Chain A
């Protein structure tokens, strides 16, 4: 590593440690930010010599990254950005902090995938899904798929693990029709993790015709784009691998969506040579992911934290949550997106019959939504008030990004 990179890497580690010691955060961003100021190529230098997997998509990337890191851990030490700091500063911090490791598994914000592909030259990239998320700021779904496609076609040597159930992902992972046929297209391994959310893929990104669906299958009514045959698939509470063998997946994380994330993790790990039978045991060791799914005892209440950032992930959160008193917290600060319109893309009806409490900066937006949805609720001002308002036992907390971080801070930054 060049001297400049060594200095930058050391500064990055020290700053991260200081940030944590000062109680200012996880230290997962500030260190990388300083390091990149000193050496803009630091991420590339830190990546050199490691076998790297990138994980990107709208939802599930933090959890999938954590599961994948556990699975690849069968082979040796793995560097990973496990606090969800998923932009280049976070990757730089994570790699600097980990020191020399043979492997790295990095979660990548979908907007930064092209940049991080260039810097890290990964062995594998996993593409999970693309759906509406913070549309006041983020790129619209079709535009994001276009950016992914343009980036991936420049790296035909990278193995792609992609979601066969999401038309936008399939399109992004497939080379464009005018692709130079002298260059081999990227190799894609398809997985099927099931997908509840379809509302962002009714229109074919290739030709604009309607996407038809029947059962698991989907196809474009106007061009050859259709669901590819997946090599990895969720079946019951397990995963079928490309040889047809079924592996039971025992997770400590709730919900069917996490079996899907496990399938992706197994597929990525297999690209590094990890056998599914070995990897699957590691997946069961993951208990919580940067506070997500964490359980905390307070005043006789068992509080479980679920993060839900956009319509697709709210559907998954309702599936994971128990039939128990539930606190919903909504903010609309910069990291959340300033627009709360998406609340009307979520059907809150599954909460009927549960004691529902609401809080957060934008609790009134949620109140109007629940009112129309005929879900009775109680508005509370503080987290403590919520804890006192429910009987002893389970309290499910479902919150969007900054609201989740606020509650996590109340619970001493639980991981």
Chain B
């Protein structure tokens, strides 16, 4: 951790916040506070400088126009690149995941990405809308991914990243893999408040940010029930 408290930055909520993206910030902050960590949360709008010294950066989803604008401003700002070079954690969701790559499509045009992850995105034949589930890379030690996806993009991973998960339901990157990670950077098509359904992933980000390998367990009764219910719903849909 860079300072006395855990610093979480929500990047450009004015542009990249379409589907309850605020949830990821709220969940990380709450799970840190319940472990007694002091937390400082910053919402940085796109007309402000991005501080380079925070511990966790959250980048949410957005429509095509805001996504293109957000990428442009992040490249011009340079703060996120400096933060990554210093070992900060980045969690990108949907449009925020795509723009971490080398390029993405918005409004029919190819835009340069931040080149923080070795991946590129283009348009798929159909819009992927619905439940998304997958088995997460065993090296991350997480239970299965559950989420909801809503995107028109397909993402192609280069050798410099690992898939976050193997898809068991839904589309993700390309119906085979979903999301990507490298070092302390992680992206997913599980959109909006992805961490609400995946509290263990929230804890992974907290462990990366703090270097604490064992976090005290929390009462996850409600998210456990939610995960079980969603798993059952996906299984029922597969049988139908």
For A346, give the chain B residue with the smallest CB separation.
B20
Check B115 for interface membership: any CB of A closer than 8 A.
no
| Smallest beta-carbon distance A375→chain B, Å | 12
Residue in A202, A203, A344, A369 with the greatest tally of chain B CB atoms within 10 Å: A344
| A112 touches B (CB below 8 Å) | no
For B197, give the chain A residue with the smallest CB separation.
A368
Which of A137, A141, A339, A373 has most B Cβ within 10 Å? A339
Query: Is the CB of A412 closer than 8 A to any CB of chain B?
Result: no
Which chain B residues in 174-225 approach chain A with CB under 8 Å? 191-193, 196-197, 222-223, 225
Q: Which residues of A are in contact with B by a Cβ distance under 8 Å?
A: 132, 135-137, 140-143, 199, 202-203, 208, 210, 338-345, 364-365, 367-369, 371-373
5 A-B pairs in the complex with CB atoms less than 8 angstroms apart: A135-B18, A143-B63, A339-B150, A364-B225, A368-B197
Are B130 and A338 interface neighbours, CB within 8 A?
A: yes
**Across the interface, which residues of B come within 8 angstroms of A343, CB to CB?**
20, 23, 193
B196 touching A368, Cβ below 8 Å: yes
Which A residues lie within 8 Å of B225 (CB)? 364, 367
- Across the A-B interface, give the 9 residue pairs with the lowest CB-CB distance, nearest first: A341-B192, A344-B23, A344-B20, A341-B20, A364-B226, A202-B14, A367-B222, A341-B19, A344-B193
B residues near A203, Cβ cutoff 8 Å: 14-15, 65-66, 69
Which residues of B, 36-69, contact A by the 8 Å Cβ criterion?
45-47, 63, 65-66, 69
Nearest A-chain residue to B15, judged by Cβ: A203
Q: Which of A143, A202, A208 has the most CB of B within 10 A?
A: A202
B22 close to chain A: CB less than 8 A:
yes
B162 surroundings in chain A (CB, below 8 A): none
List the A side residues contacting B196 at CB < 8 Å: 344, 365, 368-369, 372
| B63/A141 in contact, CB under 8 A | yes
Are the CB atoms of B69 and A208 closer together than 8 Å?
Answer: yes
CB of B30 within 8 A of CB of A137, answer: no
In the complex, which residue of chain B has the Cβ closest to the Cβ of A204?
B65
Nearest CB of chain A from residue B193's CB, rounded to whole Å = 4
In angstroms, how far is the closest chain B Cβ from the Cβ of A47? 34
Give chain A residues whose Cβ lies under 8 Å from the Cβ of B66.
203
Q: Are B65 and A142 in contact (CB under 8 A)?
A: yes
Chain A: minimal CB distance from B20 (Å): 3
Cα distance A203–B63 in the bound complex, in angstroms: 11
Taking a contact as CB atoms under 8 Å apart, the answer to whether B65 and A210 are in contact is no
Closest-CB distance, A143 to chain B (whole angstroms)? 8
List 6 other contacts, CB 8 Å, given A203-B15, A369-B196, A372-B23. Answer: A137-B129, A140-B18, A208-B69, A210-B45, A343-B20, A344-B192
Q: A132-B18, A341-B191 are in contact. Are A371 and B222 (CB under 8 A)?
A: yes
For A203, the closest partner residue in chain B by CB is B66
Chain B residues, Cβ within 8 Å of A136: 129-130, 148, 150
- C-alpha gap A132/B45 in the complex (Å): 20
Report the minimum CB–CB distance from A20 to chain B (whole Å): 32
Q: Does B32 contact A (CB under 8 A)?
A: no
- Given A341-B20, A364-B225, A368-B222: A208 touches B148 (CB 8 Å cut-off): no
B142 close to chain A: CB less than 8 A:
no
Contact partners of B229 in chain A: CB under 8 A: 364
B116: interface (CB < 8 Å): no
B173 at the interface (CB under 8 A from A): no
A210 / chain B contacts, CB cutoff of 8 Å: 14, 45-47
Contact present for A368 and B20 (CB under 8 Å) = no
Q: How would residues 23 to 38 of chain B score, 1 for a CB under 8 Å from any chain A CB and 0 otherwise?
A: 1001100100000000
Which of B13, B192, B197 has the largest number of chain A CB atoms within 10 A?
B192
User: Roughly how many angstroms separate A140 CA and B95 CA in the complex, as a whole number?
Assistant: 14
